[in-house]
Chains A and B, each alone.
Chain A
Amino acid sequence: MQSSPLTTDQLQANFADLHPNYTRDEAAFEASRCLFCYDAPCTRACPTHIDVPRFIRQILHDNVGGAAKTILDANIFGGSCARACPTEVLCEGACVDNARAGAPIEIGRLQRYATDYAMERNLRFFAPGKDTGRKVAIIGSGPAGLSCAHELRRLGHKVTVFESRDVPGGLNTFGIAAYKITREMSLAEIQPILEMGVDLKLNTPVDAAKVESLLADNDAVFLAIGLGQTQRLKLPGEHMEGVWEALEFIEQLHDKREFEKCTIGRNVIVIGCGNTAIDAATQAIRLGAEKVTIAYRRGEDAKSAYNYEYDLGKSDGVQFEWYVQPMGFVGLNDRVTGATFVRTQLQGEGRKAELVPIADSEFTIECDMVIKALGQTPVDELLSKVQGVERDRGAVRINSETYQTTRRGLFAGGDCTSKGKEIVNAVQDGKMAARSINRHLDSKGK
């Protein structure tokens, strides 16, 4: 497989920040537009309920450190969320200036301005709570796990986090497009959490037996293992060289550190049209692929990618094939050379409409790389073996108020319970689960 045809300078430019940080004047101008709403819709629309008008006014009045504290108090991953949140449908979508002036306050970029300010200066805002003598084990060091760890440390509980990989951060560290969140940024954001006194055990996978021993040795356990492998298509030729999983493709950009060393085809097909598909497609173009086609079995209106992601894909030159379903992959010497599709159509009206293949419509698109972006599957090999944990279609079942699973003392949050949402949802799960665990520990008595 080939590496990038582009020069180092071209690659650096292609993977530079999608939205560079504001200058002081830009931030002040944007902040001055905020109306300072009462019971602000932006705050209500944020899953972590960051007090947006407050932090914007703090920026306006030259208290950028205070703004960062406001953000991080509600969302310790405020820096990542500023970069990767779908603000279009969250805070900025709720902004009343959409209705007044046709455009929202750029809350995400203001949040980035404040959190970067704190990160650049190594500011620390939170201290561990008074030691309670209680111990909690957390499985997984993604946003849900570490958000929970941070909140538990603020409450004074001992926390040990188990991570199977050699770096913490989960998808934040290796699963987001590199022009949004870099590995360095993710690790820098995690540093203050670790400094709260979190005992992080890297390279430590947890199996069902280990879950049992953690439950025995701790006052509570929080399960934040996320999701596992990308769904398989179960199509002929899927095993061939050149057929990638989207996360694997995105991960190489974070892992190899040098874009020159990343593997990239010249003619790439991405299957699926969610946000990960767009991330993969745009990064393929930015790595130097000459042609990138997103193939989706449904129509443009059914895609799960956000509008701004779709627009990014289009402006990067991604091509789209709608209503095409993959049938298999063809290759030479076990290397992929093309993907075969059948055209589909909707039969019936409205919600009952059914997607059906069109007879004799098969065709093949030549390619030297296929990226499957079909969503991740639950970590069945672990979850199916943990006693007493019930699931709903793969997702760990929890009480929506307490975050406790059907197993007493075992709590869960993040993608393993939601089957894949945004960073901001995982952070809120972790935070709220920590508060619930705190109540649970209180009620247990000494």
Chain B
Amino acid sequence: MIIPDLSTNCAGIKSPNPFWLASGPPTNTGYQIARAFEAGWGGAVWKTLTHDPILNVSSRYGALDHDGRKVVGFNNIELITDRSLEENLAEIREVKRLFPKHAVIASLMVESKREVWHDAVKRTEDSGCDGLELNFGCPHGMSERGMGSAVGQVPEYAEMITGWVKEVARTPVLVKLTPNITDVRVVGRAAKRGNADGVSLINTINSIMGVDLDTLAPKPQVGGRGSHGGYCGPAVKPIALNMVQSIAADKQIQLPISGIGGIQNWQDAVEHMLLGASSVQVCTAVMHYGFRIVEHLISGMENWMREKGYGKLEDFIGLSVPRVGDWADLDLMYRVVADIDQEKCIHCGLCYSACEEGAHQSIDITTVSEDDYVASLNGNALKAPVVSGGVRAIPGAGDNRVNIFTVNDETCVGCNMCSLVCPVTGCITMVEVDPRGPEPLSWRQYQQKLAAGEMGRLKPIPHAHRPLGNLY
């Protein structure tokens, strides 16, 4: 029997579980962090400390809602701590006294001078924190003052400042990377050269949340004006996963990773870890739902580990990293086609419009009469007709017909689109079919064989016949 052990060691920073609060509004004060630890969080990255507390604006946050779901994306124009260094350090000391086994990581951002960084590191570490995180990522406000992403976007600065910190630091140093850069690995390598102990990513993404259609002001607004802010929340997870994997796979970097970006459930956390993170950080989901979401994160990860047979985090961290590679090495001969389970189909036609108008025209419609359809139902209670007042109504029917959707296997390219939009679990599956060739063939191999004259040009999967003339 496996009893999953979630104890974590990320770059030498230890915590009872891999779930850390990311530096942000939930880690503003010792009070909040103590509440979070009581709720079950394993660690917390303190809201970025600095010598000269800043002043913030009002308002500060904006959210992206999608068709009835709130906050699928989120941004902020809030800056780093607006409290004094002494106040914050006293609270760190108190939190560590109360929760000695939990990880407290101090995020730092100070003026880009060697002696200023030395002073900040020494005083902060005296508070008893377990590690430092250098905020080279904050994209708004502080970057205009030569800090945050202004450092993280210039590899030489990032390397230099990391080096200054490492000259005096006694605890592990994580460098927090900005995604607002063409290739995140370049700054990751700079952090490595500066002797960082690990990296954390991603910080937030430059963004404008929207425009108020009454006032025409951007969101969030400050007196009718706005500024680009840092974007995060569930919608950024895929961007974060890509960057985490690219750092994890980089031969030059080889540093522990604390994964950040769009984590709101245990699956998100496991995905970050499969792609190389050894701890994960969460902020937006806590701002949305509160600290107790950690219960679900822990329970979900434990349950998954139990079912998969993983006893400790190291058993699965990074397992999916080698599965990601260049497109040129993917097998051109591999093929899946969509399969629609007619028993489960509710005849909504979303697969049809997605394929016909948005993809590759490989789903066909035929119609059956209502009577024939009802006769074919085989006692499926949900799909059964309702008779009321002597009138029959059939889910999915109208105008005495039911649309039946079938996949054309000849032209289906296996793009997944229909299965992505199908609202019924398990109705459309992507089925592996006989490969298109006798053995796997990547584009790279194909190019080599073409050049060597070992094979001729391959044809794409045949296109569906949809003559333009039929429309007119």
Chain A residues engaging chain B, CB cutoff 8 angstroms? 28-29, 31-33, 35-46, 60, 86, 88-90, 92-100, 102, 104, 274-275, 303-309
Per the bound structure, the CA–CA distance linking A40 and B424 in Å amounts to 16
Of B69, B353, B389, most buried by chain A (CB within 10 Å of CB) is B389
CB-based nearest A residue for B382? A99
Per the bound structure, the CA–CA distance linking A123 and B209 in Å amounts to 32
Q: Does any Cβ of A come within 8 Å of B71's Cβ?
A: no
B389→A86 contact, CB < 8 A: yes
A29→B389 contact, CB < 8 A: no
CB-based nearest B residue for A41? B398
Per the bound structure, the CA–CA distance linking A88 and B383 in Å amounts to 15
| Chain A residue contacts of B401, Cβ below 8 A | 44
Q: Which of A37, A89, A102 is within 8 Å of B382, CB to CB?
A: A102
| Chain A residue contacts of B382, Cβ below 8 A | 98-100, 102
| Chain B residue contacts of A33, Cβ below 8 A | 68
| Chain B residue contacts of A98, Cβ below 8 A | 382-383, 386, 395
Q: Does any Cβ of A come within 8 Å of B396's Cβ?
A: yes
A45→B393 contact, CB < 8 A: yes
Q: List, sorted by A's number, 10 A–B pairs whose CB atoms are closer than 8 Å.
A: A31-B68, A32-B69, A38-B403, A39-B349, A41-B402, A44-B397, A44-B398, A45-B393, A98-B383, A309-B389
CB-based nearest A residue for B69? A32
Q: Does any Cβ of A come within 8 Å of B67's Cβ?
A: yes
B346→A36 contact, CB < 8 A: no
Known: A39-B349, A86-B389, A99-B383. A94 touches B67 (CB 8 A): no
A90→B393 contact, CB < 8 A: yes
| Chain A residue contacts of B399, Cβ below 8 A | 44-45
Closest 3 CB pairs of A and B: A93-B393, A44-B398, A32-B68
Q: Does any Cβ of A come within 8 Å of B41's Cβ?
A: no
Q: Which of A39, A100, A303 is within 8 Å of B423, CB to CB?
A: A100
Per the bound structure, the CA–CA distance linking A211 and B309 in Å amounts to 87
Known: A29-B68, A41-B397. A96 touches B348 (CB 8 A): yes
Shortest CB distance A180–B (Å)? 16
B389→A303 contact, CB < 8 A: yes
Q: Does any Cβ of A come within 8 Å of B57's Cβ?
A: no
B388→A100 contact, CB < 8 A: no
Shortest CB distance A99–B (Å)? 4
Per the bound structure, the CA–CA distance linking A4 and B459 in Å amounts to 83
B395→A99 contact, CB < 8 A: yes
Shortest CB distance B356–A (Å)? 8
Q: Does any Cβ of A come within 8 Å of B350's Cβ?
A: yes
Per the bound structure, the CA–CA distance linking A135 and B391 in Å amounts to 39
Known: A45-B397, A94-B393, A94-B398. A100 touches B424 (CB 8 A): yes
A32-B68, A90-B393, A304-B390 are known; give 4 further A-B pairs, CB within 8 A.
A38-B350, A93-B386, A97-B346, A100-B346
Per the bound structure, the CA–CA distance linking A209 and B403 in Å amounts to 51
Interface string of B371-411 (1 = CB under 8 A from A): 00000000000110010111111111111011100000000
Per the bound structure, the CA–CA distance linking A46 and B349 in Å amounts to 18
B68→A95 contact, CB < 8 A: no
Known: A60-B67, A102-B382. A94 touches B353 (CB 8 A): no
Q: Does any Cβ of A come within 8 Å of B266's Cβ?
A: no
| Chain A residue contacts of B365, Cβ below 8 A | 39
Known: A36-B350, A99-B382, A100-B346. A43 touches B398 (CB 8 A): yes
| Chain A residue contacts of B392, Cβ below 8 A | 89
Q: Does any Cβ of A come within 8 Å of B352's Cβ?
A: yes
B398→A306 contact, CB < 8 A: no
CB-based nearest B residue for A274? B389
CB-based nearest B residue for A94? B398
A38→B352 contact, CB < 8 A: yes
Of A94, A96, A275, most buried by chain B (CB within 10 Å of CB) is A96
Chain B residues engaging chain A, CB cutoff 8 angstroms? 67-69, 346-350, 352-353, 365, 382-383, 386, 388-399, 401-403, 423-424
Q: Which of B352, B391, B396 is within 8 Å of A99, CB to CB?
A: B396
Per the bound structure, the CA–CA distance linking A95 and B397 in Å amounts to 8
Shortest CB distance B407–A (Å)? 15
Shortest CB distance B369–A (Å)? 13
A32→B397 contact, CB < 8 A: no
A306→B388 contact, CB < 8 A: yes
CB-based nearest A residue for B356? A38
B393→A89 contact, CB < 8 A: yes
A41→B389 contact, CB < 8 A: no
Shortest CB distance B352–A (Å)? 5
| Chain B residue contacts of A42, Cβ below 8 A | 398
| Chain B residue contacts of A308, Cβ below 8 A | 388
Of A39, A43, A98, A99, most buried by chain B (CB within 10 Å of CB) is A99
Known: A31-B68, A32-B68, A303-B389. A93 touches B394 (CB 8 A): yes
Shortest CB distance B350–A (Å)? 6
Shortest CB distance A140–B (Å)? 25
Per the bound structure, the CA–CA distance linking A429 and B389 in Å amounts to 22
CB-based nearest A residue for B390? A304
| Chain A residue contacts of B423, Cβ below 8 A | 35, 100
| Chain B residue contacts of A31, Cβ below 8 A | 68
| Chain A residue contacts of B347, Cβ below 8 A | 37, 41, 96, 99
| Chain B residue contacts of A95, Cβ below 8 A | 395
B391→A89 contact, CB < 8 A: yes
A96→B396 contact, CB < 8 A: yes
| Chain A residue contacts of B348, Cβ below 8 A | 35, 37-38, 96
| Chain B residue contacts of A305, Cβ below 8 A | 389
Per the bound structure, the CA–CA distance linking A367 and B358 in Å amounts to 66
CB-based nearest A residue for B385? A93
Shortest CB distance A109–B (Å)? 16
B389→A304 contact, CB < 8 A: yes
Of B349, B382, B388, most buried by chain A (CB within 10 Å of CB) is B388
CB-based nearest B residue for A44? B398
Shortest CB distance B65–A (Å)? 10
Shortest CB distance B402–A (Å)? 8
Per the bound structure, the CA–CA distance linking A33 and B68 in Å amounts to 9
Shortest CB distance A376–B (Å)? 17
Shortest CB distance A76–B (Å)? 21
| Chain A residue contacts of B388, Cβ below 8 A | 86, 88-89, 93, 306-308
Shortest CB distance A107–B (Å)? 12
| Chain A residue contacts of B69, Cβ below 8 A | 32
Shortest CB distance A93–B (Å)? 2
Q: Which of A46, A86, A97 is within 8 Å of B391, CB to CB?
A: A86
CB-based nearest B residue for A308? B388
Shortest CB distance B273–A (Å)? 32
CB-based nearest B residue for A95? B395
B395→A41 contact, CB < 8 A: yes
Per the bound structure, the CA–CA distance linking A93 and B391 in Å amounts to 10
Shortest CB distance B6–A (Å)? 36
Per the bound structure, the CA–CA distance linking A266 and B388 in Å amounts to 30
Known: A39-B349, A100-B346. A60 touches B393 (CB 8 A): no
Q: Which of A36, A60, A309 is within 8 Å of B68, CB to CB?
A: A60
